[in-house]
Amino acid sequence: MRCEPFEADRVAELADCVFSTLPHTASMEACGALVERGCRVIDFSADYRLRDPNLYAQWYGASHSDVSHLGEAVYGLPEIYGDDIRGARLVANPGCYPTAAILGLAPLAAGDLIELRGIVVDAKSGVSGAGRTPKLAYHFPECNESTQAYAVGTHRHTPEIDQVISEIAGAPAEVVFTPHLVPMDRGIFTTMYVRPKRNFTETELLDTYRGYFGAAPFVRVTTRIPATKDSAGTNFCDVTLRVVRGQIVVLACLDNLIKGAAGTAVQNFNLMHGYPETTALL
């Protein structure tokens, strides 16, 4: 493969649609220019995920340099914003943690069934979620045979989850999000603890989930508890739930490298170009 220096004009000449995998802050320098030149863009960075540039500045420590395109950006989670994605010029591909959390919480938020403050999102991720840059924390003998939480209460995926759950619910939501690193290559298992507004049975809730995701080809609502290995190497997100002592325990898992990133990007591409949503993904 040959790499060339980035020139927006040259890229726009060659491509109708661009997948940008630049890091955050660098990506918004490029994406706006591409959109202006008629490219449609699917951006893997965080730059267009948060609607509020002040929130971006607060969590990412940099002011937003492309506010003019922020307004039209669509959050690229097809199960939630599929209709908007079809016509979008600029799609902000979601983070891996938010995908599992949002898919796990959306049916509850949509139905006004739960307390929106203080939802607990406890996520366990394989080490590929940390990227490919060698660091002591990801050196094999350091993280193998070990589990630990990190960035407790400070992880940048927090406001993404808040934002989307708030939009689905039509009221402000706030999650307590704790990511953990577990010694495996890939996969995210997310356990959510939610307080319902009234009592529900598991059957009722599972029906709600099945109804909500009826048309979504990549969400599997299961009765048994899924394992990350069930969805490894696929674009599926598996979801189930239990009612325990009055709380709803939602269990969701996916492959962070597929449904948590590249697979969803392809799914967005399919929607944007009128292909069947599952093209190249099943």
Catalytic residues: 96
Nearest of 31, 45, 47, 50 to residue 90 by alpha carbon: 31
Shortest separation between residue 252's beta carbon and its own copies, angstroms = 10
Report the interface residues with its own copies, using CB under 8 A: 117-118, 120, 122, 124, 126-128, 132, 134-136, 138-150, 152-153, 174-178, 180, 182-187, 189, 191, 193, 195, 225-229, 232-233, 242-247, 249, 251, 253
Grouping H, G, I as helix, E, B as strand and the rest as coil, residue 100 is helix
Partners of 168 in beta bridges: none
Q: Are 16 and 39 in contact (CB under 8 A)?
A: yes
Smallest gap from residue 65 Cβ to its own copies (A): 29
Beta carbon nearer to its own copies, 148 or 201: 148
User: 159-178 burial by CB neighbour count: b if 16+ within 10 A, else e?
Assistant: bbbbbbbeebbeeebebebb
Nearest CB to its own copies, comparing residues 134 and 274: 134
H or E segment to which residue 83 belongs: helix 78-87
Q: How far is the CB of 195 from its own copies (least distance, A)?
A: 7
Q: Closest separation between CB of residue 129 and its own copies, Å?
A: 9
User: Between 2 and 140, whose beta carbon lies closer to its own copies?
Assistant: 140
The conformational region for residue 274 under phi > 0 = left, psi -120 to 50 = alpha, else beta, is left
Q: Smallest Cα–Cα separation from 79: which of 218, 207, 187?
A: 218
Q: Could you say which DSSP state residue 6 is in? A: -
Question: Tokens standing for 193?
Answer: 């603890």
- Nearer of residues 102 and 175 to its own copies, judged by Cβ: 175
